[in-house]
Amino acid sequence: EIVLTQSPGTLSLSPGERATLSCRASQSVSSSYLAWYQQKPGQAPRLLIYGASSRATGIPDRFSGSGSGTDFTLTISRLEPEDFAVYYCQQYGSSPPLFTFGPGTKVDIK
């Protein structure tokens, strides 16, 4: 089973700043199978990025994803007040089908 590690655990930034979140996999992950989610308190997660770098429908272009192999990055170019939340990476393994999530990175207001 592939284990995902996210860093940092908490990122304290101010609105307007750039956020860089890391997701590292214990084994190589197909870029097609790497996704990022945003979760706000009391809400279900929302898909932001799929295929490592493709934005989901309705996601602002300040969110971008990159990476390959075992190292992936979510970047928020300029933080808006509504972006302070917890972010999870997730990977899909096909044999057998299994979805695993990272432990999350909390982006909070400095």
Return residues touching other proteins (CB under 8 A): 1, 32-33, 35, 37, 43-47, 50-51, 56-57, 88, 90, 92, 94, 96-104
Please name every residue paired with 39 in a beta bridge, in sequence order, or none if there are none.
86
Shortest approach of other proteins to residue 85 CB, angstroms? 14
Task: Give the residue with the Cβ less far from other proteins, 14 or 57.
Answer: 57
CB 17 to other proteins: min, Å: 25
Backbone angles phi, psi at 30, to 5 degrees: -65, 130
| Contact predicate 75/20, CB 8 Å | yes
